[in-house]
């Protein structure tokens, strides 16, 4: 007769369970403290991505800011997403999506919801910091970001576009012969006209777009998720908007605008990207102004060849 086989089940001791619980609590506290130390939005979400994977596997995080901050993608774009709309004290903070290749089950959704509670207050702090930073880089008359703000935001927008594998267009818009308004009508009229143009341009763009006040008589617009062909359509609309922006009973100003447009290339750094858009503006001015010139990514910036007449 065969001897009965006896299976011995290992039983985790109470002390071991207690240690595991303490380990989890310690990780949660460390994760929470880490997030509270991050005031930069990108650094906050990078820390959330790295630290959050100790509790839940995911490959990327997408933040849709709405009216506060800017849209951010860290990690990798993936097919499945778990989306959360965050608010604090009745004020919307934005939308966070966790991204990965496989779907999230009910248990994982509960874990993710607890992670969102962890990031709620650090996100509010980071958004307030971002707003204060941008306010210090904003022209208080036009309400537009200045060149310092663009130097900060452009590399982020470029990284987001590349991570999401989406296009990013840039246009440099200049009011033609703007200095003549000052000469013929005075500085006050020119000042009002400039502010009217800024408001008109900003009013035509999406909330995800960024409009900066550049040097001299230029505006620079960044259009996420927009290729060069669609950017040309937007540029035509903005060009008409400039012509309609100044209305005064006592002064007759007919404004026109020239614009250079390009699209982000895989080899671009911020300087090269901006330089190519400025090349388009230069060509538009050379062809009589009130023109739009789109510069393809393969166009050599240092060359005087005009792609529009090739």
Return the domain boundaries, the chain.
16-135, 147-309
Q: Is the pLDDT of residue 296 over 90?
A: no
Neighbours of 77 (CB within 10 A): 14
Classify the phi-psi angles of 19: left when phi > 0, otherwise alpha if psi is within -120 to 50, otherwise beta.
Answer: alpha
Quickly state the pLDDT bin for 113 (edges 50, 70, 90).
very high
Separation CA 137–CA 234 (nearest Å): 26
pLDDT at residue 298 in the model:
72
Tens digit of each residue's pLDDT (9 = 90 or more) over 139-174: 888 889 898 999 988 998 998 889 888 999 999 999
Separation CA 190–CA 209 (nearest Å): 26
| Domain 147-309: top CATH class | alpha beta
Q: Does residue 90 sit in helix, strand or coil?
A: coil
pLDDT at residue 150 in the model:
92
Residues 6+ apart with CB under 8 A from 169: 222, 223, 226, 227, 228, 230, 231, 234, 261, 262, 263, 264
Q: Is the pLDDT of residue 11 over 60?
A: no
First to last CA, the chain: 95
Separation CA 230–CA 166 (nearest Å): 13
Q: How far is C-alpha 86 from the geometric centre of its chain's CA atoms?
A: 18
- Segments in the chain forming alpha helices (H): 14-36, 41-52, 106-135, 147-164, 179-185, 187-204, 228-244, 270-286
Q: Which of 52, 61, 63, 123 is nearest to 98 (CA)?
A: 61
Enter the CATH code of domain 16-135: 3.30.450.40
pLDDT at residue 303 in the model:
47
Quickly state the pLDDT bin for 18 (edges 50, 70, 90).
low
Q: Which of 23, 47, 26 is nearest to 35 (CA)?
A: 47
Residues for the chain: how many in total?
A: 310
Separation CA 114–CA 110 (nearest Å): 6
Neighbours of 120 (CB within 10 A): 15
Separation CA 201–CA 238 (nearest Å): 6
Mean pLDDT over residues 300-310, rounded?
Answer: 47
Residue 185 φ then ψ, to 5°: -125, -10
Q: Which of 186, 205, 207 is nearest to 70 (CA)?
A: 207
Same fold, 16-135 and 147-309: no
Q: Which of 207, 201, 163 is nearest to 64 (CA)?
A: 207
- Residue 45 token pair: 């979400």
Dihedral sign, CA of 228, 292, 223, 265? Answer: positive
pLDDT at residue 305 in the model:
45
**Cα atoms found within 13 Å of the Cα of residue 137, Cβ hemisphere only:** 18
pLDDT at residue 181 in the model:
78
């Amino acid at each position: 007769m065969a001897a009965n086989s006896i299976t011995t089940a290992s039983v985790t001791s109470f002390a071991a369970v207690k240690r595991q619980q303490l380990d989890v609590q310690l990780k949660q506290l460390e994760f929470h403290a880490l997030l509270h130390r991050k005031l930069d939005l990108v650094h906050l979400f990078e820390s959330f991505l790295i630290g959050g994977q100790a509790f839940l596997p995911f490959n990327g995080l997408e933040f849709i800011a709405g009216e506060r901050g800017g849209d951010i993608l860290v990690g990798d774009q993936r097919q499945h997403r778990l989306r959360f709309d965050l608010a604090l004290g009745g004020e919307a903070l934005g939308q966070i999506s966790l991204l990965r290749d496989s779907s999230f089950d009910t248990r994982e959704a509960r874990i993710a919801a607890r992670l969102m509670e962890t990031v709620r207050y650090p996100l509010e702090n980071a958004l307030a910091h971002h707003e204060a930073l941008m306010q210090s880089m904003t022209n208080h008359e036009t309400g537009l970001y200045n060149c310092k703000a663009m130097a900060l935001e452009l590399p982020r927008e470029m990284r987001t576009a590349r991570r999401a594998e989406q296009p990013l267009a840039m246009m440099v818009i200049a009011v033609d012969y703007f200095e003549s308004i000052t000469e013929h009508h005075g500085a006050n009229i020119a000042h009002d006209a400039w502010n009217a143009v800024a408001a008109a341009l900003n009013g035509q763009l999406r909330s995800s777009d960024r409009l900066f006040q550049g040097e001299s008589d230029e505006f620079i617009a960044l259009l996420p998720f927009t290729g060069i062909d669609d950017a040309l359509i937007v540029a035509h609309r903005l060009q008409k908007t400039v012509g309609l922006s100044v209305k005064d009973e006592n002064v007759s100003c007919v404004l026109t605008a020239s614009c250079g447009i390009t699209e982000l290339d895989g080899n671009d750094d911020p300087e090269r990207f901006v330089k190519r858009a400025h090349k388009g503006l230069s060509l538009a001015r050379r062809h009589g102004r009130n023109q739009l010139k789109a510069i393809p990514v393969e166009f050599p910036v240092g060359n005087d060849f005009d792609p529009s007449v090739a």
